[in-house]
Amino acid sequence: MIKMDKKKLKIEVYLAPTCPSWPELEQNLRTALESEGVLAEIIVERISPEEAKRRSLKGSPTLIINGEEFQPLEEGNWG
């Protein structure tokens, strides 16, 4: 059995300037957090392709939870 750690999560979301994913992603995040009873600090930032490359982010949106990248798992688009 996995014991859920109730500490607060830090969720970072990085999106390309024109990425339309945020509204649906925000709803999915909030629904998941609420259903699990988990508190989270959510940081959302729209960044340029150059900044994404500098940060070694693979695609838009990129989702990082407590420092670990969860999405995307493969190369994506920042354009």
pLDDT tens, residue by residue, 19-62:
999 999 999 999 999 999 999 999 999 999 999 999 999 889 99
Q: Identify any residues that bridge with 13 across adjacent strands, giving them in sequence order.
A: 44, 63
**Distance (Å, whole) CA 67 – CA 10:** 8
Considering the domain boundaries, does residue 4 fall inside one? no
CATH number at residue 44: 3.40.30.10
pTM for this structure?
0.81
Written as six digits, the tokens of 50 are: 């150059």
Q: In what order do the strands lie in the sheet with 9-15?
A: 40-46, 9-15, 62-65, 68-71
How many Å separate Cα 45 from the centre of its chain?
A: 10
Provide the domain limits for residue 35.
Answer: 9-71
| Structural domains in the chain (count) | 1
DSSP-derived secondary structure letter, 17: T
Considering the domain boundaries, does residue 78 fall inside one? no
Considering the domain boundaries, does residue 3 fall inside one? no
